[in-house]
Amino acid sequence: MDCKALGVVNTHETTLPILHMLSHYSWGARAVMTLAAFALDFGEFCILMRIHSSNQLANSLAFLKGLPVLAEPPGLQKHKQALADLVSLNKAALEVIRCIFELQKLPNYGTENVPALSKTLDHVPVDVYWVVRTVVGCSAQMIRVTNDEYQSVDLSSLAHNLDSILNNLKKQLNICKQQIEETETAAYQTLRNLFQIHPKIVEVFKALCYGKSNLQPLIDGSNQFNEIDFDVVLKHKYVLLLISGPDMSDNDLRTLKQLHREIGNRGKIVWVPLIVGQTSIDTERMFRNRSSEVPLYLVQQFLHILPGIKFIKEEWHFRNEAIVVVINPKVRVEHCISLQQIKGIDSFSCFRRKHIDVLVDGICRCACQCLCAHRERTNV
């Protein structure tokens, strides 16, 4: 940008090579890096402009950098409006970038639910082009100002265009948020109603963890993290949903191991990883390492679907501590208990009834054997 600014500037011809040079980065990153490159020089100039008259070191630095505009006070007055325009344009460019990043962070529930989001994101490359082109114009203007050149660059058209882009982005951002809120409200209500209509267990996981995304197979943490179908593992079983972050204590792991031993083949433990905010490779690795310590199954997608998070907080009273939700073979919630409160399988009445059934069966078998033995002796 500095080299181009020394001659006659064609902002379009300068912008294209910059975008190409940064092609390995995302569109938002390209805008940030271009603005940062300009801000470094402009910020240095502004500091020197403020203190050069009272600071000898700053005055010497301005001389070494060849900034004639700082040599005479009238020079700055002559370019006062041009400098104000540069500050205003940079603020507008920064606002456009902020809107772009805010758009990219919004949850994507598909074109059919949030049509405004995909349409606006498709236009981001054009918006970034104009941000970079505006910064190129600002760079040319700053070179002329710092060299005390009389003729300045007309930035009014760039300012008007950037203002139009910013207004449109803000408008589309509000529309996207409204459509997302409507989608999440409907998804939350669907999730609440789901347990009233005898759903399949796979439908529960789909609504809770994946929303509008495609359902992915479970991960078998006890078998080299192989993928396995939901119905193959969970159909007609008690399902113990473990909902937590990766920061489980060794005591929690011991409790889970004990549960796994005592439940046997009657139920399966499925870990639903809960992450509020952005995930990282380290977080994913931590979940994998923890899940390999206990024979359980792991949902592939981190629970970041907002309706799902809202549901477990309001319906299952999740408060940042690990909880276990027991879903019976008829897909009804029977228990919801903190992991720290679990003292083995007897913490769940549904499994206590199984103990009684086993005891009754044992007594009946024993009685039958005694009766048969008595009849044999009588016959003899």
pLDDT digits (tens, 9 = 90+) for 110-122: 788 889 999 999 9
- What's the mean per-residue pLDDT of the chain? 79
Q: Quote the tokens at residue 343.
A: 């003292």
238-278 confidence digits (pLDDT tens): 898 988 877 777 888 888 888 888 888 888 888 888 765 55
Of 293 and 72, the structure prediction assigns the larger pLDDT to: 293
Query: Is 235 part of any domain?
Result: yes
Residues 162 and 264 in one domain: no
Confidence of residue 6 (pLDDT cuts 50, 70, 90): very low
Instruction: Please work out, in degrees rounded to the nearest 5, the angle formed at the alpha carbon of residue 40 by the alpha carbons of 37 and 41.
Output: 100
* Number of domains into which the chain is organized: 2
Strands 333-338 and 226-228: unpaired
Domain housing 51: 11-183
Residues 153 and 220 in one domain: no
Query: Is 376 part of any domain?
Result: no
Any idea which of 41-50, 113-122, 226-235, 338-347 has the lowest mean pLDDT?
A: 41-50
Residues 64 and 175 in one domain: yes
Give residue 25's pLDDT: 95
- Identity of the residue numbered 179: Q
Query: Is 372 part of any domain?
Result: no
Residues 244 and 168 in one domain: no
Confidence of residue 354 (pLDDT cuts 50, 70, 90): very low
Residue 35 neighbours by CB under 8 Å, 6+ apart:
90, 93, 94, 97, 131, 135
Query: Is 134 part of any domain?
Result: yes
Residues 275 and 126 in one domain: no
Give residue 8's pLDDT: 47
Query: Is 243 part of any domain?
Result: yes
Residues 39 and 176 in one domain: yes
Residues 146 and 238 in one domain: no
Of 308 and 360, the structure prediction assigns the larger pLDDT to: 308
Query: Is 198 part of any domain?
Result: no
Query: Is 195 part of any domain?
Result: no
Give residue 277's pLDDT: 52
Backbone angles phi, psi at 326, to 5 degrees: -95, 120
Give residue 7's pLDDT: 47
Query: Is 308 part of any domain?
Result: yes
Mean pLDDT within 91-108: 92
Residue 125 has pLDDT above 80, yes or no: yes
Residues 135 and 62 in one domain: yes
Of 171 and 214, the structure prediction assigns the larger pLDDT to: 171
Give residue 307's pLDDT: 83
Taking the model in full, what pTM does it have? 0.72
Give residue 250's pLDDT: 80
Which residue intervals of the chain are DSSP H helices? 2-5, 11-21, 27-51, 56-64, 73-78, 80-105, 115-122, 124-146, 156-194, 201-205, 230-234, 250-263, 281-291, 306-314, 349-379
Confidence of residue 31 (pLDDT cuts 50, 70, 90): very high
Strands 267-273 and 238-244: parallel
285-298 confidence digits (pLDDT tens): 666 666 667 778 88
